[in-house]
């Protein structure tokens, strides 16, 4: 009969005799190596929870299990390396709650990472201070990414159909401008390339008819009982602090590609504007050189700054002493019929009799005679 010996906190046969006893002792050591010891303490293991019992809470070895009872109960760890003062531990599954698996808890015992079991869909919940901040889920009612790829920030409530990104939050208090999206990418490439913060490339296929497709749609809504200085659908503010920019365009439209047939193409299309007290299709405000509308062949139309009331066609510098300047020197007037009169206004026109007429504010029509 041999006296039991402690080996890695397990009792094995000590000083075995005979081949059978030696084999038995060896197998006991293998079992102890595989199973490891067990420590219960009111703290989590540290690098000093090692084979030399540096922390004096009990010698630990590879595969030793450590049960932490405080400050949060039921935390379980396994020793991966028992090197003195350099022990390595891994926390195991913390606990199960109602069929869910809590992978991690914070130091206050709140869920940190939780695998949620459900009859309809599973989820991975991420928490901060015990409150769900992100869900990787099939569907839910708060912040989540579902298995279809949709990203929801805030409540999953929207009037849009099939959105992939939903931001539904309330901002109150604080100061400064708020933003839903911010791109602060820094680019440094030694190549003649471009960069787009937003690249809209939706594709419609099939044979059905569609009403529209828009790469970007702005529908800002102002519902405060107060006033707002500017309600803007799309705003452009370019920051240029580098070398020479050959051209700065706040808005640029290019010819469409692909070879499809279009009845009309517009670089800028403005529908009837009637809702405002005053309605402007295009409002050029305080342009020091006037507002110019030009083509590749040169300036077609120039509107001088407010106050001068001058319009130039074919020039960026219309006469300040005339309302209209024709730089080409030719005015083409289409034949018409006698127009209706406007009090205080005169009209010059031609009719199909190849004569030139003047109509005064009272409506009297006078033929303009040419002196030989």
pLDDT of residue 145: 64
pLDDT band at 26 (very low <50, low <70, confident <90, very high): low
Which H or E run contains 29?
A: helix 18-35
Q: Please state which of the ranges 76-80, 291-295, 310-314, 356-360 shows the lowest mean pLDDT.
A: 291-295
> What letter would DSSP give residue 98?
T
How many angstroms separate the CA atoms of 49 and 41, rounded?
11
Measure CA 121 to chain center.
27
Across 18-22, 136-140, 208-212, 321-325, the highest mean pLDDT is recorded for 208-212
pLDDT of residue 340: 95
> What letter would DSSP give residue 218?
-
Higher pLDDT, 56 or 120: 56
Q: Are 88 and 124 within 8 A, CB to CB?
A: no
How many angstroms separate the CA atoms of 176 and 117, rounded?
42
Q: Which sequence spans correspond to the domains of the chain?
A: 4-90, 93-168, 291-332, 333-372
- SS3 call for 200: coil
pLDDT band at 275 (very low <50, low <70, confident <90, very high): very high
pLDDT of residue 153: 73
pLDDT of residue 234: 92
Q: Which residues of 226-260 are buried (b: 16+ CB within 10 A; e: fewer)?
A: eeeeeeeeeeeeeeeeeeeeeeeeeeeeeeeeeee
Measure CA 224 to chain center.
25
Q: Are 76 and 64 within 8 A, CB to CB?
A: no
How many angstroms separate the CA atoms of 108 and 100, rounded?
19
pLDDT at 307 over 60: no
């Amino acid at each position: 009969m041999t006296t039991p010996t402690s080996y890695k906190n397990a009792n094995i046969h000590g000083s075995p005799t005979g081949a059978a006893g030696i084999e038995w002792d060896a197998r006991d050591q293998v079992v102890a190596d595989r199973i490891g010891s067990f420590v219960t303490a009111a703290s989590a293991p540290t690098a000093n929870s090692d084979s030399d019992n540096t922390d004096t809470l009990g010698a630990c070895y590879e595969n030793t299990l450590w049960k932490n009872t405080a400050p949060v109960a039921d935390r379980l760890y396994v020793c991966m390396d028992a090197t003195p003062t350099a022990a390595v531990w891994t926390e195991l599954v913390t606990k199960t709650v109602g069929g869910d698996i809590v992978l991690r808890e914070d130091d206050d015992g709140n869920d940190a990472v939780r695998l949620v079991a459900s009859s309809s869909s599973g989820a991975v919940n991420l928490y901060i201070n015990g409150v769900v901040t992100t869900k990787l889920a099939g569907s839910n009612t708060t912040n989540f990414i579902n298995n279809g790829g949709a990203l929801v920030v805030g409540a999953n409530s929207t009037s849009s159909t099939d959105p992939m990104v939903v931001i539904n939050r309330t901002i109150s208090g604080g100061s400064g401008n708020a933003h839903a999206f911010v791109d602060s990418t820094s680019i440094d490439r030694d190549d003649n390339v471009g960069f787009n913060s937003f690249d809209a490339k939706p594709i419609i296929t099939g044979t059905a008819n569609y009403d529209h497709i828009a790469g970007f749609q702005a529908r800002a809504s102002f519902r405060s009982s107060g006033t707002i200085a500017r309600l803007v659908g799309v705003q452009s503010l370019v920051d240029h602090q580098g070398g020479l920019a050959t051209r700065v365009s706040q808005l640029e439209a290019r010819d469409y590609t692909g070879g499809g047939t279009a009845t009309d193409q517009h670089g800028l299309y403005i529908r009837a504007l009637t809702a405002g007290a005053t309605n402007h299709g295009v409002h050029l405000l305080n342009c020091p050189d006037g507002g110019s509308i030009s083509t590749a062949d040169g300036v077609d139309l120039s509107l001088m700054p407010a106050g001068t009331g001058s319009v130039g066609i074919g020039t960026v510098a219309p006469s300040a002493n005339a309302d209209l300047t024709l730089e080409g020197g030719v005015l083409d007037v289409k034949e018409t019929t006698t127009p209706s009169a406007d009090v205080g206004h005169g009209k010059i026109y031609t009719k199909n009799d190849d004569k030139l007429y003047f109509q005064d504010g009272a409506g009297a029509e006078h033929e303009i005679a040419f002196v030989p």
